[in-house]
């Protein structure tokens, strides 16, 4: 088990670092080179379909509202995000993606889709269930300690 533990740890750390590095490099080479990886993850947290408040997005990203506001200001200026006042209560401001924001969101989702497809490509249904169970266990552990 010790050998497996070391090998699993090596792969997990390497995969985590590779995903961030690849995402950052792909952004720099793309038409979205003005985005940082942090801004990309902010766009991802805002999402395509449900308008969210700054507080909801900050909570999801585990940052303060003040930190997120700075990032949102940059994303608004760059044309990826818009602030939308609620029709019901004008004091409430929701965040939404512009056309440019939705485009980069889709590109980012495609990368993740291909990554997952690659991870499970040679696994049968039972192996996929075991893999999913391991990821759920890891997710739950990380949720507990954050």
Could you report the per-residue pLDDT of 10-38, keeping only the tens digit for each? 999 999 999 989 988 988 899 999 999 99
Cβ atoms within 10 Å of 108's Cβ, excluding its own: 19
Contacts of 144 (CB under 8 A, 6+ apart): none
| 2-106 classified as CATH 3.30.200.20 | no
What integer pLDDT is reported at residue 1 of this predicted model? 59
| Strands of 52-53's sheet in order across | 52-53, 93-97, 81-85
d(CA 146, CA 142): 6
For 58-76, how does the pLDDT look when each residue is reduced to its tens digit (9 = 90+)? 999 999 999 999 999 999 9
d(CA 101, CA 43): 7
d(CA 60, CA 45): 7
d(CA 86, CA 80): 19
* Segments making up each domain of the chain, as ranges: 2-106
**pTM assigned to the model:** 0.83
């Amino acid at each position: 088990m010790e050998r497996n533990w070391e090998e699993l740890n090596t792969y997990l750390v390497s995969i985590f670092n590779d995903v961030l590095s690849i995402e950052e490099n792909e952004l720099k080479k793309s038409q979205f080179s003005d985005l940082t990886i942090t801004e990309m993850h902010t766009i991802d947290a805002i999402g395509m379909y449900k308008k969210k408040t700054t507080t909801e997005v900050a909570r999801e990203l585990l940052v303060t509202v003040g930190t997120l506001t700075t990032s949102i200001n940059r994303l608004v200026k760059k044309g990826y995000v818009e602030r939308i006042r609620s029709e019901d209560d004008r004091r409430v401001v929701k965040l939404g993606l512009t056309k440019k924001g939705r485009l980069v969101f889709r590109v980012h989702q495609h990368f993740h889709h291909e990554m997952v497809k690659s991870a499970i490509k040679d696994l049968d249904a039972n192996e996929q269930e075991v893999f999913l169970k391991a990821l759920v266990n890891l997710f739950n552990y990380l949720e507990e300690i954050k």
